[in-house]
């Protein structure tokens, strides 16, 4: 019972951190309440592991520490479960996420359990260092937990399209049946009725990379698919099952490295359309930094 306060307060801090990082947004995952129950339970286990490490080290139970680290390594299975779940859900999406986006989401859910461990471990250390009255320890641990959660969340926050590129509206046009933006052909729209819908309701945007690194990142096919999926999720898409001509399209201009996205949103709101594009996350697996190489610096 010597470390009961530390175990309870640290486990609670780690669990609270996982709860704070678990929120449902436009991506519609995880589902409520089944998905929440799974992730909160796994987060509780991670928090308990982080809380036990400090008492185990203080009691010189190094074999127990090794066992806890081994148990924590099993969180990699969380990624496999998320990957399989999202892959199974892919067939139900109007606009597919793509394998790159699915892998990125799976990594995030795995990493958040490790953040719960870090938060619990940090609070456990603070609890043992600042010993004293119960109210004093609670206040210090609460402050430490809040700081750690905010810090870890900030470190986990990735870039968005608006951070690496400028986004502006542009005009779509038809060359007979070919849908074009500037000089880039996006697709062939054969039905006159579909072309009429694009002329009346269609929106087009140009995504201009801010540098060579951004240009290389935006050239990733998974990133292009993620843009189409997220924008359609945020602003809605004017289409029904089987209407392939209205699926949002993202194409790249090989000469400039710019991306063009054309879609028919459910509502004609240009500001919302541009904001949605700027808020699409940059996929971790899509990030490229050619300027860090010798050849890349020579080309810059």
For residue 1, the tally of other CB atoms under 10 A from its CB is 5
Residue 256 reports pLDDT greater than 90: no
* DSSP E strands, the chain: 165-170, 172-175, 178-181, 184-188, 203-209, 249-252, 259-263
Q: For 120-134, what is each residue's pLDDT tens digit?
A: 988 888 888 887 778
Mean pLDDT of the chain: 82
* Mean pLDDT score, 227-240: 86
Residue 200 reports pLDDT greater than 70: yes
Nearest to 27 by CA among 232, 273, 164, 205: 232
Q: How far apart are CA 234 and CA 269, in angstroms?
A: 12
Residue 49 reports pLDDT greater than 90: no
Contact 280, 235 (CB under 8 A): no
Residues in Cβ contact with 193 at an 8 Å cutoff, skipping those fewer than 6 apart: none
- The pLDDT of residue 29 is 56
Residue 28 reports pLDDT greater than 90: no
- The pLDDT of residue 285 is 80
- The pLDDT of residue 289 is 77
Q: How far apart are CA 268 and CA 277, in angstroms?
A: 15
Of the chain, the end-to-end C-alpha distance in Å amounts to 63
Residue 207 reports pLDDT greater than 90: yes
Q: Kindly report whether the global pTM for this prediction surpasses the value 0.95.
A: no
* CA distances, 226 to each of 56, 230, 279, 284 (Å): 44, 6, 11, 12
Sheet holding 249-252, edge to edge: 165-170, 203-209, 259-263, 249-252
Cis peptide before 33 (omega within 30 of 0): yes
Contact 145, 77 (CB under 8 A): no
């Amino acid at each position: 019972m010597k470390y009961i306060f530390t175990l309870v307060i640290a486990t609670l801090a780690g669990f609270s951190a996982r709860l704070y990082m678990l929120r449902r947004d436009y991506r519609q995952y995880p589902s409520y309440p089944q998905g929440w129950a799974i992730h909160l339970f796994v987060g509780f286990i991670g928090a308990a592991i982080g809380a036990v490490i400090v008492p185990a080290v203080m009691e010189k139970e190094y074999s127990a520490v090794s066992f806890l680290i081994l148990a924590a390594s099993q969180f990699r299975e969380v990624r496999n479960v998320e990957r399989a779940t999202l892959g199974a859900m892919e067939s139900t999406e109007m606009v597919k996420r793509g394998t790159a986006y699915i892998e990125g989401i799976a990594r995030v859910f795995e990493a958040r359990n490790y953040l719960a461990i870090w938060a619990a471990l940090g609070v456990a250390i603070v609890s043992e260092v600042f010993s004293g009255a119960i109210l004093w320890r609670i206040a210090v641990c609460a402050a430490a937990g809040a700081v750690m959660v905010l810090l870890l969340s900030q470190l986990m926050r990735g870039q968005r399209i608006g951070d690496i590129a400028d986004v502006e509206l542009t005009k779509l046009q038809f060359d007979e049946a070919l849908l074009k933006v500037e000089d880039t052909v996006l697709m062939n729209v054969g039905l006159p009725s579909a072309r009429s819908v694009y002329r009346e309701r269609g929106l087009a945007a140009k995504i201009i990379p801010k540098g060579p690194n951004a240009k290389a990142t935006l050239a990733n096919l998974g990133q292009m698919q993620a843009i189409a999926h997220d924008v359609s999720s945020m602003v809605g898409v004017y289409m029904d099952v089987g209407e392939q001509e209205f699926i949002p399209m993202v194409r790249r201009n090989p000469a400039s490295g710019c991306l063009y996205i054309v879609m028919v949103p459910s509502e004609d709101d240009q500001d919302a359309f541009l904001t949605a594009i700027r808020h699409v996350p940059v996929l971790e697996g899509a990030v490229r930094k050619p300027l860090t190489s010798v050849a890349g610096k020579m080309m810059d």
